Amino acid sequence: MPAPFKIIDLFAGPGGLDVAAQALGIPVASGIEWDDDACATRMAADLPTTPGDVRAFKPRDFPDANVLAGGPPCQTFSVAGNGLGRAALDQVLEFANRYAEAQPDSHEDEFEKIRDDLKQLSDERTGLVLEPLRWALQAIFDGRPYQAIVLEQVRTVLPVWQAFGEILKNKGYVVADPEILHTEEFGVPQTRRRAILIARWAGNGAQLHGMPKLPAPTHHRHKKGVARGVGAPHSFPG
């Protein structure tokens, strides 16, 4: 019998992901967030919260968490943002490769070097997209790999998630091919597009109970000229 899931949520914000997890009966070990207002919102909703910088923590600080989730800051990658993250995409991928090449007996020193080198980026928020990878690899080195990983970001981060996916496969994970999902296809009244990565641990003889896969749409994709109610009469009240 697999251990019950318990989530550590990086860049947890006011708690949207955690509210959904709890609605599904999945407990949250904690959500790490450094914005005071977001933390206040989480605490008002009785969501486990750790105020602070994700970079200051490690998996061993949350030993009961076995699911890693997160949506790093998107400002430098989004179309509406300053574009610095998109311009630095090649650098981000190089840093990801450096993380992947770290060795068990020297990874702590290498991770510190990478953190120092990330200061070269013109906006520190760009480098935060690498934090979920650091957490995943650190957990493996600690001998307590996360049983599942769920990451989301704006669509321009898809190449980063694809690189993460290949790295995780080489470390013992089974990964659903990262894709861009359209929020309106899942009943959200917005036309946002998000790059999603889902992975399950399969190393060291771990037994998988179902392969990871992205969800199938429940609604139609928005198209200009098509009535919003077409194809989904069951979604209207009465």
Instruction: Please answer whether residues 169 and 163 qualify as being in contact, where contact means their C-beta atoms are separated by less than 8 angstroms.
Output: no
3-state secondary structure of 7: strand
Burial class (CB in 10 A: 0-12, 13-18, 19+), 105: exposed
Instruction: Please answer whether residues 219 and 184 qualify as being in contact, where contact means their C-beta atoms are separated by less than 8 angstroms.
Output: yes
| Cα-Cα end-to-end distance for the chain | 42
Q: Which of 74, 139, 163, 175 is catalytic?
A: 74
Alpha helices in the chain (DSSP H): 16-23, 36-44, 84-87, 89-101, 107-117, 124-127, 131-141, 158-171
Comparing C-alpha atoms, which of 120, 118, 119, 139 is closest to residue 130?
Answer: 118
Burial class (CB in 10 A: 0-12, 13-18, 19+), 83: middle
Check if 74 is active-site.
yes
Tell me which residues are annotated as active site. Answer: 74
